[in-house]
Amino acid sequence: MRNRSILAALLVAALLIPACTKHRIPAFHEDGGSQNSGGNHGGNNNGGNQNNGGENGNGGQQQQGLTLKLRTDWSIRYEGREFYPDDNCDVERFSVSCPGADYFMVRVLSKSQFVDDYKSDLKAFFEEEEKYIASDAEYYNCSFSELSYIYDQSVSALLLDRCRSGEYYFYLVGIKSDGKLSGDYAASTQVFEQELASDAYKAWLGEWLISNGEVGYRIEISQSEANWLYRVDGWETGSSIASNGTQMNLEYIETKFNEDGTMSFFSQYLGGYEDENWGWLDEYFLGNVYDRYGRTVITDTGLEICVAKFADGSTSFAEVTGNPVSVAVDGASPWNTTFESMCYWSYCETATNDDDVWLPYNNNIPTFPLTLTKTKATGEVAAAPEREINARTIHRNQPASHGVEEARNGIVIRSNSVR
């Protein structure tokens, strides 16, 4: 199962709210009940100059099945990075143009993924995307044109979430009126450089004890993307884990560095793997609230769960407090509450009882407020190591987007839900 979410289109003249959007799984009570949560966003932006690019096309070469044609009169052009206040994050602005297309979509692919996952075969990538269109339309019981990532000629500009450092390929893909790919496309490439880490960013690097005084973990915070993201290893590991709990040492999460020097923990999709008992499981790091049902997970990703803030004058001690969250319960008025904890969850769509099931790994998790106490500083800034491949392979997604359906090899930073 792919991680699904609601993503609003950013249009030039108006805000498009499609009738069929990305799937958003409701909040789940541990007793099996459910409730809905989250929201969506959108805005306006202006188109820019046209540009053609891309080095990976087949240029109209005839192949069995789909025939690809690089359209020189189409373009997808990078216009620069800017701050998007609605989601409190940086975004990449793109202008798009595809005269004559019935519909189109935009796809983002890192160079490493294109080489490793698709063996540099653009046709294979496009054919996989065509299958997703059909399966999503069937899943949501709607026309393909109602899917949130399908656009028409009214759209000329899009905002993508900030890309990680590295080289990326951006594809504007034509779609015919029957939902099949036309084979026509435009492409461009863009290299995003790693920034030089600031002193404020480096202050969070090192080994820490995070605890509420009763339950705690020894975590290590290392650089993921300088001045933006951290990698955090060690959550839900150590002596605090009950004997029947699961050591999550194969997992890591990411946190976000904020301009005011604080650090945010946010809900995120980690990837999936095949379990011999449950089948395919999607793994998440999510925030929880507590009500009369007990612990209830809020399943939207991109939500800022809590914020870590240094004590005055210190870079070795910080306090972590839960953020407010508004939860809509079965169409009733929103319930305004506060996140009270965070932990790993697995989602199983094809459980043995025919119901969707959320599975926590541990029940003994720390509740807010938490403290962070540095136990060892990091002598130098090093990029986070790659995840080791093992029996429980986790495939991370790429950066998702504002105005384009989530791409599948990165993470989205959002403060109001939606990924």
pLDDT (0 to 100) of residue 247: 62
Could you state, in order of their start, the residue ranges of all structural domains in the chain? 38-193, 199-377
pLDDT (0 to 100) of residue 21: 28
Architecture of domain 38-193: Sandwich (2.60)
Instruction: List average pLDDT for each run of 10 residues in the chain, which is 419 residues long.
Output: 28 25 34 31 33 42 74 96 83 94 93 92 94 89 90 89 92 96 97 94 96 94 94 86 61 91 94 79 90 83 95 96 86 86 86 68 91 84 41 31 30 26
The residues near 392 (Cβ < 8 Å, ≥ 6 apart) are: 250, 273
pLDDT (0 to 100) of residue 229: 95
pLDDT (0 to 100) of residue 249: 54
pLDDT (0 to 100) of residue 377: 87
pLDDT (0 to 100) of residue 36: 29
pLDDT (0 to 100) of residue 16: 24
3-state SS class at 403: coil
Q: Which residues pair with 308 in a beta bridge?
A: 263, 320
pLDDT (0 to 100) of residue 87: 74
Q: Strand (E) positions, 229-351? A: 229-233, 252-257, 263-266, 268-275, 279-291, 294-298, 304-310, 317-322, 324-328, 335-338, 341-348
Cα distance between residue 34 and residue 198, in whole Å:
43
